[in-house]
């Protein structure tokens, strides 16, 4: 009887030790991964004015496809970095049209889950996929709450040299990082005939986007998830 008790106690001690050892690094990493952002740094973002966005207008989508060498196809296996969504409030019947793309989350689940570190967030807040590291596991697609990512299902032709893509890897809106790095605006923002997409530095208090966000009501999609997306919507 007492021998069993001793054995049991040893067993318990040992399992608790094992549990502690395996949990501790997890907690440490969690803290590291959720470090605070530096307020002085640039954070690129967008503010979308849904009231101006016309139903049926697809200009931002077309501009994106042209800029990034996407096919324009809309089958379930084609890449769509930006898409128009028509939404209708079930209780009031109010209809709104808006563009949806990678929201460049401050705490991106796609980056957290990526096994190789191919999904990453730049210092300026843009979330990208490193085409040389991505192994095509699609875990990031499972994790993204906005369905922002596409998997390249077929070999590609006619690529834009500025925008590397690759069969068997995952891709999504890059906020036209190649244009931003040359001081230009993202293609969709330029193409919108109604000036519905305002692009800028969220962290610069004097920028137009920061001023607008301070003065008008805007919202993040699925703000309840606490990911702090860099894309905000007005008039939702």
Partner 1 sequence: MLTSVAALIVLAGLYSVHMMEEHGHIITGMNNQIVWGIPHVFAIFMIVAASGVLNVSSIGSVFNKPAYKARAPLAGLLSLAMLAGGLTVLMLDLGRPDRIIVAATNYNLTSVFAWNVLLYSAMFAAVVVYLWTMMEARMQPWSKHAGFVVFIWRFALTTGTGVIFSFLVARQAYGSAILPPMFIVISFAWGLAVFHIVQSAIYQWNGKMLDEYVQKRMKNLLGVFVVAALYFVVVYHLTNLYFARQVEFERFILADGGIYPLLFWAGYVVLGNLLPLLLIYLPGWGKTQHVAVASAMVILGGFAFLYVFIIGGQAFPLSIFPGFEVKSSFGDGVIGLYSPSLPEVLLGFGGVGIAFLITAVGIRVLNFVPREIPKKAL
For binding to partner 1 (CB under 8 A), which residues are involved? 14-15, 18, 22, 29-30, 32-33, 74, 76-80, 83-91, 100, 109, 111-118, 132-139, 141-147, 149-155, 166-170, 221-222, 225
According to CB under 6 A, which one of 65, 80, 119, 234 is a site residue for ligand SF4? 119
Residue indicated by tokens 């957290």: 112
Closest CA to 198 of 172, 159, 230: 230
Minimum CB distance to ligand SF4 smaller for 154 or for 208: 154
171-200 footprint of ligand SF4 as x/- string (CB under 6 A): -x----------------------------
Residue 80 beta carbon to partner 1: minimum distance, rounded to whole angstroms: 5
The full DSSP string for 120-185 is EE-TTS-EEE-TTT-----HHHHH-TT---EE--S---S--TTS---TTSEE---TTHHHHTTTPP
Out of ligand SF4, partner 1, none, which partner does residue 90 contact, by CB within 5 to 8 A per kind? Answer: partner 1
> Which pairing describes strands 127-129 and 119-121: parallel, antiparallel, or unpaired?
antiparallel
83 contact, one of partner 1, ligand SF4, none, CB 5-8 Å limit per kind: partner 1
Measured distance CA(173)–CA(125) in Å, rounded: 13
CA atoms within 13 A on the CB side of 106: 21
Per-position x/- string for 48-87, each x denoting binding to ligand SF4 as judged by CB under 6 A, each - no binding: ----------------------------------------
37 binds, among ligand SF4, partner 1, none (CB under 5 to 8 A by kind): none
Provide CB contacts within 8 A for 99, sequence distance 6+. Answer: 48, 53, 60, 61, 82, 83, 84, 85, 188, 196, 197
List residues binding ligand SF4 (CB under 6 A). 102-105, 108-110, 113-116, 118-119, 127, 129, 134-140, 144, 146, 148-149, 169-170, 172
């Amino acid at each position: 009887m007492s021998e069993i008790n001793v054995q049991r106690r040893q067993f318990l001690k040992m399992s608790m030790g094992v549990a502690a050892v395996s949990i501790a690094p997890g907690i440490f990493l969690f803290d590291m991964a959720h470090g605070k952002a530096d307020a002085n740094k640039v954070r690129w973002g967008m503010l979308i004015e849904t009231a101006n966005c016309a139903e049926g207008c697809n200009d931002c989508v077309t501009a994106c496809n042209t800029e990034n060498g996407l096919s324009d196809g809309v089958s379930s296996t084609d890449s769509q970095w930006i898409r128009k969504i028509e939404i209708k409030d079930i209780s009031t019947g109010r209809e709104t049209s808006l563009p949806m793309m990678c929201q460049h989350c401050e705490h991106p689940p796609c980056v957290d889950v990526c096994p190789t570190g191919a999904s990453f967030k730049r210092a300026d807040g843009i979330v990208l996929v490193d085409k040389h590291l991505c192994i095509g596991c699609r875990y990031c697609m499972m994790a993204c709450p906005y369905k922002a990512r596409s998997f390249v299902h077929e070999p590609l032709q006619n690529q834009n040299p500025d925008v590397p893509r690759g069969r068997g890897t995952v891709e999504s809106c890059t906020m036209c990082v190649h244009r931003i790095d040359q001081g230009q605006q993202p293609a969709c923002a330029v193409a919108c005939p109604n000036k519905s997409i305002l692009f800028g530095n969220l962290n610069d208090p004097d920028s137009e986007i920061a001023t607008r966000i301070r003065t008008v009501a805007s919202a993040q999609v699925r703000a309840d998830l606490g990911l702090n997306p860099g894309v905000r919507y007005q008039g939702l």
